[in-house]
Amino acid sequence: MTVVQLLRSSLLLVLIVSPAGCARLKPYERGKLAHPTMLLGDLSRAGPAHVYAIHEGAVGGDSGAKGGCGCN
């Protein structure tokens, strides 16, 4: 199994398993989740993110996460 296949299978596996571990929170239980530092987007500013991208031979994995807080 190649690395690509491994990554693909791992992703699918987690996608399938994750809903089972998902908490069903009410809006009034999201006080902590609504904090700005809890938004899963990349916390690094564009500058540092650019530096990391240039210095590291790897890309991806940053600034992607959307949603979750359910604020609005």
Partner 1 sequence: MKVPLVVIRVPKADAAAIESSCRVVVVRSFAVLLLILGVQIAWPAAAAPASQDPVADNSSGSRAKARKRSPKAKKSTAQARKRSAARARKGSRARAKKSSKPSVLDVVAADQLAPADVPNAQEVETPPAEAGSAEPVPIASPPSAALQPALVTEPSLLPVAGTSGRAMSEPPVRDAPPAASSSRTRSGPAAHVSLETSGYLDSDHVSVLSPTVSAGLTDDVSGWSVNGHYLVDVVSAASVDIVSTASPHWTEVRHAGGVSGSAAFEPVTLGASAVISREPDYLSITGGGTLSLDLLDKNLTPYLAFSREQDSVGRTDLPHEYWHSKHVNSLQLGLTVVLSRSMIGSIQWDGSFERGYLAKPYRYVPLFAPGQAAEIPAGTSVEEVNRLRLSLRPSEQVPDARDRHALSVHLAHRADASTLRLDERLYADDWGVRALTSELRYIFDVRRRLELWPHLRHHIQGAARFWRRAYEAIPGPDGALGVPVFRTGNRELGPLQIITLGGGVRLGLAEPPGNRWDLVFEFDAGRTSFSDALYVSERFMGYSTLAVEATF
Where on the chain is the footprint of partner 1 (CB under 8 A)?
A: 1, 3-5, 7-16, 18-19, 21-38, 40, 43, 45-48, 51-52, 54-62, 64-72
Shortest distance, position 41 Cβ to partner 1, whole Å:
9
CA 55 → CA 8, 10, 49, 50, 58, distances in Å?
26, 27, 10, 9, 9
Shortest distance, position 2 Cβ to partner 1, whole Å:
9
Shortest distance, position 50 Cβ to partner 1, whole Å:
9
